[in-house]
Amino acid sequence: MLDDHLISIITVNYNNKLGLERTLKSVQSQTYTNFEHIVVDGESTDGSKEIIESNKQYFTYWVSEPDKGIYNAMNKGIKAAKGDYLFFLNSGDDFLGTDSLENISTHLKTYDFIYFNINVKDGNNSYVKKCPSTMSFSFLHNDTIPHQSIFIKKSLFKHVGNYDENLKIVSDWKFLILALIKHNATYKHIDAVFTNFYRGGISSLEANKVLVNKEREQVLKQEFSVILNDLNENLKLQRTLRTLRKSRKIKLLIRLGLINKF
């Protein structure tokens, strides 16, 4: 039975032919059919465009043209999307099984964000990245919800704005933290896995960690300077507590019952 909400699956690609083939195959194999598939390619030269053209009957919209980066491409997908919920499954990533969308479709109700856990594949190893059920500024300060595990109400982009194309790596994180903290977006976590994320993308490369931290710091200072002051003070207190807990003198005083354990 089809859900009332149309899902827009947006796939962004640039010179990742093998990954694109895996993603397209996974989307096309889904038993759930109330979705549209949008493909935005950055005028790839590795044969990706030919793959897209040979599968164009499966897309409601596709384009292969130069872009200004991944967030410019994602914004193109947002503009073309007609679904109630948007989901970004970029080239290389795929669903856990053919019934993945079928299994999660009933959860797509009311909330601005509906997010799940994600299966992270790193070479021959894999692990499940669990997302917290309750969001907090301290979590978002250091981490994020992977876009391969989150459904976003399209109407939210009208309130928050599209992805910031001036950022190279963390614009989806910026959108998430602005939506949750400044716009009080509603959310729900489902403790289940339905997609695979393959490490090696731009944000997961060690070489880009410096840029990730720099862009995050820039956003935090611009948007949350007052909250950041409180958080930094809290972090100092936590470090002090950790140091005290390791102190032999403190441990002795606790054993003697002169002070309570903390």
pLDDT of residue 112: 97
**What CA–CA distance (Å, rounded) separates 176 from 181?**
8
* pLDDT tens for each residue of 6-24: 999 999 999 999 999 999 9
pLDDT of residue 243: 77
* pLDDT tens for each residue of 18-69: 999 999 999 999 999 999 999 999 999 999 999 999 999 999 999 999 999 9
Beta strands 150-153 and 113-122 are antiparallel
Strand partners, 151: 114
Considering the entire predicted model, what is its pTM? 0.85
pLDDT of residue 1: 41
Mark the ranges of the chain whose per-residue pLDDT is less than 50. Answer: 1-3
7-204 has CATH 3.90.550.10 classification = yes
Q: Which of 112, 113, 117 is nearest to 128 (CA)?
A: 117
**What CA–CA distance (Å, rounded) separates 89 from 148?**
6
> 123: helix, coil or strand?
coil
Long-range residue pairs from 224-229, CB within 8 A, at least 24 positions apart, any chain: 224/137, 224/177, 224/181, 227/137, 227/181, 228/141
Residue 140, token pair as written in the block: 């978002």
Residue 95, token pair as written in the block: 């669903």
C-beta of residue 15 within 8 angstroms of C-beta of residue 48: yes
